[in-house]
């Protein structure tokens, strides 16, 4: 897949993430309420995936990317607080986002093929 397509996919996933985050909770079967801490696990996995998609899209895995993704996470929390739903902003969600970014960075270093980089041979 081309860099442009990876960037498009990243954009679509980020827009979908915002829409998912500001929707009203419909029932006890929502992903956020399936089991204890399921929401935090979802945040970690989502932001790790965003990191990997960004790398595939040609963005450099630097502090600027980490800060941009963290700003995105904070903006989602602000949107949840402002949306006319029963949702609210959470510092623990932002912490989970940060852990997800770190996980994505670690995965990209440990398994370069996830980030679209050739595998380095270890001796």
Say whether pLDDT at 28 is over 90.
Answer: no
Residue in the block written with tokens 């679509």: 12
Closest CA to 78 of 97, 60, 59, 103: 97
Average pLDDT over residues 91-113: 95
pLDDT band at 106 (very low <50, low <70, confident <90, very high): very high
Annotated domain spans of the chain: 3-22+32-115
Residue 98: name the closest of 53, 66, 55 by CA.
66
CB 33 within 8 A of CB 25: yes
For the ranges 10-14, 39-43, 78-82, 116-120, the lowest mean pLDDT is seen at 116-120
Rounded CA separation 11/5 (Å) = 10
Distances (CA, A) of 118 to 2, 33, 72, 81, 122: 16, 39, 29, 42, 13
């Amino acid at each position: 897949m081309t860099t442009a397509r990876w960037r498009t996919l990243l954009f679509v996933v980020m827009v979908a993430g915002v829409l998912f985050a500001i929707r009203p909770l419909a029932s006890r079967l929502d992903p956020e309420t399936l089991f204890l801490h399921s929401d935090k696990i979802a945040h970690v996995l989502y932001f790790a995936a965003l990191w990997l998609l960004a790398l595939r899209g040609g963005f450099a895995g630097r502090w600027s990317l980490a800060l941009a993704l963290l700003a995105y996470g904070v903006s989602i929390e602000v949107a949840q607080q402002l949306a006319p739903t029963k949702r609210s902003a959470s510092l623990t969600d932002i912490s989970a986002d940060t852990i997800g970014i770190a996980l994505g960075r670690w995965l990209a270093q440990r398994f370069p093929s996830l980030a679209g980089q050739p595998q380095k041979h270890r001796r």
